[in-house]
Each structure stands twice: as structure tokens, then as C-alpha cells.
Structure 1
Amino acid sequence: MEEKESKQTLYLVMGGRVTDPRSVTFSDPESLHVAGVFSTYEDAESAWRANAQRTVDDAEMKYVIVHLHKLLEPDA
């Protein structure tokens, strides 16, 4: 009997300076800080929180969590 493989989840945490604090349009995409790729949302959120707290006094800095698995398999 064949075991069904569970879907892998991947989360990217990245951040940088944005053109408007209400958007996610980065002013210099080439200089984005990549905090890492994580296999659980909890780990990604911890990394996001740590980086967001570190830059909390700079309104033009924003960190986000990107669901890579949704980009890699959009129909899943």
C-alpha cells in the first residue's frame, strides 16, 4: 500500500524599506533583507516578529511572511 505524501509548507520572511507604510511596495527590492525560509508558520511568525520589533521605530521598514507553498503549487 502506497503512503500519500503530505504537502510541504514553506514560509519566506523578508523585509525592507517601503514607499508607503500602508503598502508592500518596496522602494529597493534588490536590498531586501531575507530573514529566512521556514517550514512552520509559527517559526516564520517568530522570525517576522523579531525583525519587525527590531525596526519598530522606522515607519518605512516592513517585514512580511510570504506563503511560498501557495506560489509553488497555486492549484493545491
Structure 2
Amino acid sequence: MNNRDKLAALLKRANITRAEAAQYIAEETKRPCSWRAVQSWLADSALPSARECPDWAVTNLTAKLKRLKLIA
């Protein structure tokens, strides 16, 4: 499973929006993260706006969601 799929699965499991995911990533990393960044990470790789989802985004979102008890 690639990071794009992992990120999509996290959003679905926690039932959060892309904007909420961006907010949680920003809170966890103490760096800005926009919903557009999350959108580009989730975009189909054939699209020109698609970007590869970085490991740190998945790791930090997972940590935040666990701390908030939105995922196990």
C-alpha cells in the first residue's frame, strides 16, 4: 500500500475531511499544511496537480488521530 492509499484510508477510518487532516498534520508538525496539499496527495497520479504523499504526512496524521482516539 502506497502513502496515497494509506492517507485515504486514514481519512475514511477517522471520518475526517481533507481540511481536518491538513489541520491535524499542521498541529502535529508545527508547520503549515493546507487542504490543497492534502488534496494533491490524494489526487489520481495521472493528474498534473497530483503530488507524491510524503511519509511524514502519514506518520504525523496517524499519531494525531491515535492521540485524539479517532483511530485505534
TM-score range, shorter chain: 0.3 to 0.5
Which fold has the larger relative contact order, with Cα–Cα distance below 8 Å and residues 6 or more apart in sequence? 1
Higher helix share: 2
Larger radius of gyration: 1
- TM-score, with length taken from structure 1: 0.32
- TM-score, with length taken from structure 2: 0.33
Higher strand share: 1
